[in-house]
Chain A
Amino acid sequence: MHGFHGRLLHVDLSKGRPSWHDLPERRLRAFLGGIGLGTSLLYEHAPPGVEPLSPANPLIFTSAPLVGTNLTTTAKFAVVTKSPLTGFIGDSLSSSHFALELKRTGLDAVVITGRAPSPVYLSIADGHVEVRDAAHLKGKSPAETEAAIRSAERSRGFRVAAIGRAGESCVRFATISNEGRHAGRGGAGAVMGSKNLKAIAVHGTRETSVANPKQVDTIVDALRERSLGSLTDKYRSIGTVANLAVFDRLGTLPTHNFQRSTFDDAEALSGETLTENHFSRRHGCASCTIRCERLFRSLRGEEQRLEYETLFALGPLCEIRDPEAVLEAARLCDLYGMDTISTGGTLAWAMECGERGLLPETRQLGLGFGRPEGILAAIPLIAAREGIGALLAQASRRAALDVGGESAYWAMHVKGMELPGYDPRSLKTMALGLAVSPRGACHNRSGAYEADFSGAVDRLRGDRGRGALVAASEDFAAVLDSLIVCKFLRKCFADFYGEAADLLTHVTGWPASDRELRRIGERINIVKRLFNQREGWRPEDDWLPSRLLTEALPSGVAEGVGLSASELREMIGGYYEARELDANGFVTEARLGELEAGVEPCQATRHGAY
Chain B
Amino acid sequence: MTERSGEMRTQGMPDASAIVLAGGQSSRMGRPKASLLFDGEPLLVHIVRALSRLFSEIVVVAAPAQELPFVPAMVVRDQVAHQGPVGGLCYGLKATGGECSFVTSCDVAFLNSRLISYLLSRIPDCDVVVPHWQQRLQPLHAVYRRSVLPLLEGQLERGDLRPVHLFDRVRTCTVGEDEIRRFDPDGLSFLNMNTPADYEEALSRWERLGRSNLPSSAEPPVTCTVELFGVARLLAKTRAVSLSLPSGATLSHVYAALGATLPMLLGRVISPEGERLSPGYACNLNGLDFVRTTTATINSGDTIFILSADAGG
**Shortest distance in angstroms between B224's beta carbon and chain A's nearest beta carbon?**
15
Chain A interface extent, by class: 35 or more
**Shortest distance in angstroms between A242's beta carbon and chain B's nearest beta carbon?**
4
**CB of A275 closer than 8 Å to a CB of B:** yes
Asked whether, in the complex, the Cβ of A234 is within 8 Å of the Cβ of B231, the reply is yes
Q: Identify the closest chain A residue to B312 (Cβ).
A: A487
Asked whether, in the complex, the Cβ of A447 is within 8 Å of the Cβ of B312, the reply is yes
Q: Which of B229, B282, B305 has the most CB atoms of chain A within a 10 A radius of its CB?
A: B229
B-chain residues with CB within 8 Å of residue A267 when the two chains form the complex: 239
Q: Identify the closest chain B residue to A444 (Cβ).
A: B312
Q: Which of A237, A247, A276, A307 has the most CB atoms of chain B within a 10 A radius of its CB?
A: A237
Contact of A455 among B230, B239, B292 (CB under 8 A): B292
Asked whether, in the complex, the Cβ of A232 is within 8 Å of the Cβ of B313, the reply is no
Asked whether, in the complex, the Cβ of A230 is within 8 Å of the Cβ of B290, the reply is no
Asked whether, in the complex, the Cβ of B291 is within 8 Å of the Cβ of A455, the reply is yes
Asked whether, in the complex, the Cβ of B230 is within 8 Å of the Cβ of A454, the reply is no
Asked whether, in the complex, the Cβ of B312 is within 8 Å of the Cβ of A454, the reply is no
Asked whether, in the complex, the Cβ of A271 is within 8 Å of the Cβ of B230, the reply is yes
**CB of A450 closer than 8 Å to a CB of B:** yes
Contact of A453 among B230, B234, B287, B290 (CB under 8 A): B290
Asked whether, in the complex, the Cβ of A233 is within 8 Å of the Cβ of B313, the reply is no
**CB of A381 closer than 8 Å to a CB of B:** no
**CB of A591 closer than 8 Å to a CB of B:** no
* Residues of chain B from 171 to 210 with CB closer than 8 A to chain A in the complex: none
- Specify the main secondary structure of chain B where it touches its partner: loop
A267–B227 alpha-carbon span in the complex (Å): 13
* Residues of chain B from 272 to 313 with CB closer than 8 A to chain A in the complex: 278-282, 284, 286-292, 305, 307-313
**Shortest distance in angstroms between A576's beta carbon and chain B's nearest beta carbon?**
26
**Shortest distance in angstroms between A276's beta carbon and chain B's nearest beta carbon?**
8
**CB of B268 closer than 8 Å to a CB of A:** yes
A-chain residues with CB within 8 Å of residue B281 when the two chains form the complex: 230, 233
**CB of B77 closer than 8 Å to a CB of A:** no
A-chain residues with CB within 8 Å of residue B162 when the two chains form the complex: none
A488–B310 alpha-carbon span in the complex (Å): 9
A558–B289 alpha-carbon span in the complex (Å): 11
A-chain residues with CB within 8 Å of residue B49 when the two chains form the complex: none
Asked whether, in the complex, the Cβ of A231 is within 8 Å of the Cβ of B313, the reply is no
Contact of B313 among A237, A275, A307, A558 (CB under 8 A): A307
**CB of A497 closer than 8 Å to a CB of B:** no
Asked whether, in the complex, the Cβ of B280 is within 8 Å of the Cβ of A250, the reply is no
B-chain residues with CB within 8 Å of residue A420 when the two chains form the complex: 313
Contact of B280 among A231, A251, A460 (CB under 8 A): A231
A-chain residues with CB within 8 Å of residue B279 when the two chains form the complex: 229-231
**Given A230-B278, A491-B280, A491-B310, A246-B229 contact (CB < 8 Å):** yes
How many chain B residues touch A (Cβ–Cβ < 8 Å)? 30
Asked whether, in the complex, the Cβ of B313 is within 8 Å of the Cβ of A250, the reply is no
Asked whether, in the complex, the Cβ of A237 is within 8 Å of the Cβ of B234, the reply is yes
**Given A309-B313, A453-B309, A272-B230 contact (CB < 8 Å):** yes
**CB of A96 closer than 8 Å to a CB of B:** no
Asked whether, in the complex, the Cβ of A230 is within 8 Å of the Cβ of B280, the reply is yes
User: Residues 215-240 of chain B: 1 if any A CB is under 8 Å from the residue's CB, otherwise 0?
Assistant: 00000000000010111011000010
**Shortest distance in angstroms between B126's beta carbon and chain A's nearest beta carbon?**
29
Contact of B268 among A231, A233, A309 (CB under 8 A): A233
Q: Identify the closest chain A residue to B277 (Cβ).
A: A230
Asked whether, in the complex, the Cβ of B231 is within 8 Å of the Cβ of A233, the reply is yes
User: Residues 498-541 of chain A: 1 if any B CB is under 8 Å from the residue's CB, otherwise 0?
Assistant: 00000000000000000000000000000000000000000000
Contact of B287 among A232, A250, A275, A308 (CB under 8 A): A250
A555–B312 alpha-carbon span in the complex (Å): 24
A557–B231 alpha-carbon span in the complex (Å): 23
Q: Which of B287, B290, B311 has the most CB atoms of chain A within a 10 A radius of its CB?
A: B311
**Given A230-B281, A231-B279, A491-B280, A243-B234 contact (CB < 8 Å):** no
Asked whether, in the complex, the Cβ of A233 is within 8 Å of the Cβ of B311, the reply is no
A487–B310 alpha-carbon span in the complex (Å): 10
**Shortest distance in angstroms between B251's beta carbon and chain A's nearest beta carbon?**
12
Q: Identify the closest chain B residue to A310 (Cβ).
A: B313
**Shortest distance in angstroms between A232's beta carbon and chain B's nearest beta carbon?**
7
**Given A229-B279, A250-B284, A453-B282, A242-B289 contact (CB < 8 Å):** no
Asked whether, in the complex, the Cβ of A242 is within 8 Å of the Cβ of B230, the reply is yes
**Shortest distance in angstroms between A316's beta carbon and chain B's nearest beta carbon?**
13
A-chain residues with CB within 8 Å of residue B308 when the two chains form the complex: 233-234, 242, 246
* Residues of chain A from 385 to 440 with CB closer than 8 A to chain B in the complex: 420-422
Asked whether, in the complex, the Cβ of A233 is within 8 Å of the Cβ of B292, the reply is no
A-chain residues with CB within 8 Å of residue B227 when the two chains form the complex: 249
Asked whether, in the complex, the Cβ of A454 is within 8 Å of the Cβ of B310, the reply is no
**Shortest distance in angstroms between A77's beta carbon and chain B's nearest beta carbon?**
20
A309–B287 alpha-carbon span in the complex (Å): 21
A460–B282 alpha-carbon span in the complex (Å): 18
A-chain residues with CB within 8 Å of residue B313 when the two chains form the complex: 240, 243, 307-309, 420-421, 443
**Shortest distance in angstroms between A457's beta carbon and chain B's nearest beta carbon?**
9
**Shortest distance in angstroms between A285's beta carbon and chain B's nearest beta carbon?**
15
**CB of A245 closer than 8 Å to a CB of B:** yes
**Given A450-B311, A455-B289, A230-B234 contact (CB < 8 Å):** no
**Shortest distance in angstroms between A274's beta carbon and chain B's nearest beta carbon?**
11
A532–B228 alpha-carbon span in the complex (Å): 43
Asked whether, in the complex, the Cβ of B229 is within 8 Å of the Cβ of A557, the reply is no
Q: Identify the closest chain B residue to A245 (Cβ).
A: B229
**CB of A31 closer than 8 Å to a CB of B:** no
B-chain residues with CB within 8 Å of residue A487 when the two chains form the complex: 312
Asked whether, in the complex, the Cβ of A557 is within 8 Å of the Cβ of B288, the reply is yes
What are the nearest 7 A-B pairs in CB distance?
A455-B290, A557-B287, A308-B313, A234-B308, A242-B230, A231-B280, A230-B278
27 CB contacts below 8 A, A to B, read A230-B268, A230-B269, A230-B279, A230-B280, A233-B231, A233-B281, A234-B310, A237-B231, A237-B234, A238-B234, A240-B313, A242-B229, A242-B231, A247-B311, A249-B229, A250-B287, A250-B305, A272-B229, A272-B230, A272-B234, A308-B313, A422-B311, A453-B290, A455-B290, A459-B290, A491-B280, A558-B288
Given contacts A243-B311, A249-B287, 7 further A-B contacts (CB under 8 A): A230-B279, A230-B281, A234-B231, A246-B308, A453-B309, A455-B282, A455-B290
